[in-house]
Structure 1
Amino acid sequence: MLYRSLADLNIYDSPRLDRLATQMAKGRYLQAIASEANFLKIQLLEDGYEGLLDLDDLAKLEPSNFQNYIANFPPDLSAEEIGDRLPAVINFIQTAMATPNEYLWGGTVAPNYDCSGLMQAAFAASGVWIPRDAYQQEAFGDRLALEEVQVGDLIFFGSPIKATHVGIYIGNGEYIHSSGKEHGHNGIAVSAIAGQDRVSQWYASQLRGVARITRCNRLAMSLPC
């Protein structure tokens, strides 16, 4: 069964519904996979992300169909068209940064975001769908050397094995990101690639590289319903 959300919803990764996996913004689509005693196993269509929905939130969904989903899915865009939308992407993030916020693991709706949730929400607001998690976004983009970075490119951090953090480059050696409490700003803020503050230095030690978004994620266009 296919549904459209009527409100922002939490999606969990634990049957106890006590651990946030991601969030579903109002207007997004999901398909039900299986029903259990207190949750519905679901898949978010725009990015294929799976999780658990509290059955109490079913009242915040409306039945839909794949045809409506396709009709409302943003059009495919060229690399040039995506490039033209990058100022709007950055403006979304700067506006989010100006609103009181804090870091939220799994957050993809205002005011509280995690790193990759902020990037996905900002691109989606401009009609560009990208994957959900940092490592997926890195693999999805066109990988570049650091010296090739341009405004609007995504900068990735993590271990040599996997990207675990992402920010967006805004020029002058700086990027915006939503970072956590222990080593970050506990929310959305600007850091510098070569900065001397503790947050910039923490992430500089984990810098992996840069990726440029040049296409839209069409994964979910073919998901069965």
Structure 2
Amino acid sequence: MFLPPSKTGEYICSKNIDLFVSVDCQELSTQSAKGRYLKPISDTPKHGALEVCLCEDNYQGWLPLSSLEYLQPAENGYQKETVFREYISQKIPAIIDFCLQAHQVPNYYLWGGTVAPNYDCSGLMQSAFASQGVWLPRDSYQQEDFCQKIMREELEKGDLIFFGVKKVTHVALYLGNNRYIHSSGKDMGNNGIGINQLTDDLDQVSRNYYQQLWSYGRVIQSL
């Protein structure tokens, strides 16, 4: 085993690290922020990488062996703490503020990004909620499945808006007054975090995403 022994089988990240889609570690899958927990899926590395699973959201990826030095044995395993809507409602202003603060820092859209300053759409949502102790699934389609479905007329600040054509591929956070904040790519979005409108008669980015409106959801508990 390339890692020091852990009595819990889990490790804590001592810095932000990248996880990749496949063993060749070429395409970013997600990122693990400093302080997050992970556990190896196998004791045996393959081609210079180790397959691991993030404990908070059960997301899997490949970790380059060069990053193993940033893992410390966890004395106590990750303790899941489920919170519910009453708690989450109180945290919505801070969750919105997290996104607005991230918007103020120079950034660009990063597929797989979950740590500042560069996020993808669902990475920004996951990190914003996690900053207040509310864990969401990693990907936008998973977040849509996880939320309580609501109608557009029921939208409140802090609800999620989902976009897609044949399936959910994008997510944003509702700010109220028909506005939402999201991290979007450069092809049809802002190439980073931006604020747009739930309408098709203003800026081009708002029009692009309005054409792909899929559903609306409310976070009523954490993972």
Aligned partner of 2:34 in structure 1 is: 26
Alignment of 1:185-196 (within 5 A): 185-195=190-200, 196=202
In structure 1, C-alpha distance between the alignment counterparts of 2:199 and 2:27, rounded to whole Å: 34
One-letter amino acid of the counterpart of residue 56, structure 1: S
For residues 25-55 of structure 1, the C-alpha deviation after alignment (integer angstroms, 9 at most, x for no partner) is: 0000111012213000001010010000000
Displacement of 1:143: 0.4
CA distance in 1 between counterparts of 2:47 and 2:23 reads 10
1:58 aligned residue (68, 78, 83): 68
Q: Partners in 2 of 1:150 and 1:2 — Cα distance?
A: 38
State the match for 2:46 in structure 1. 36
Offset, 1:76: 2.5
Match of 1:118 in 2: 124
| Superposed displacement of residue 78, structure 1 | 2.3
Aligned length: 212
CA RMSD of aligned residues (A): 1.1
Code of the aligned partner of 1:39: A
Question: Could you list the per-position Cα deviations for residues 60-91 of structure 1 after superposition, in whole angstroms to 9, with x for gaps in the alignment?
Answer: 010125x4322xx5x33221110110000000
1: CA distance, partners of 2:125 / 2:105? 16
Map of 1:88 onto structure 2: 94
Kindly indicate whether the alpha-carbon contact (under 8 Å) linking 2:23 and 2:46 is maintained by their aligned counterparts in 1: no
Deviations 1:182-220 (A, max 9, x none): 111000000001152111011000001110001010xxx
State the partner residue of 1:179: 184
Structure 1 position 48 matched with structure 2 position 54: no
Identity %: 47
Aligned partner of 2:153: which letter? E
Is 1:103 the counterpart of 2:112 in the alignment? no
Q: Which has the higher helix share?
A: 1
3-state DSSP of counterpart to 2:26: coil
Aligned counterpart, 1:130: 136
Q: SS of the counterpart of 2:78?
A: helix
Q: Unpaired runs of 5+ in structure 1?
A: 218-225
Runs of 4+ in 1 over 6 A off after TM superposition: none
Q: Over residues 150-177 of structure 1, what are the superposed CA-to-partner deviations in whole Å (9 max), with x where a residue is unaligned?
A: 1100000002x42100000001100000
Uncovered stretches (5+) of structure 2, i.e. residues with no partner: 1-8
| Aligned mates of 1:92, 1:50 — CA distance in 2 | 26
Deviations 1:97-143 (A, max 9, x none): 00010000000000000000000000000110010000000000000
- What is the alpha-carbon distance in structure 2 between the residues aligned to residue 81 and residue 119 of structure 1? 17
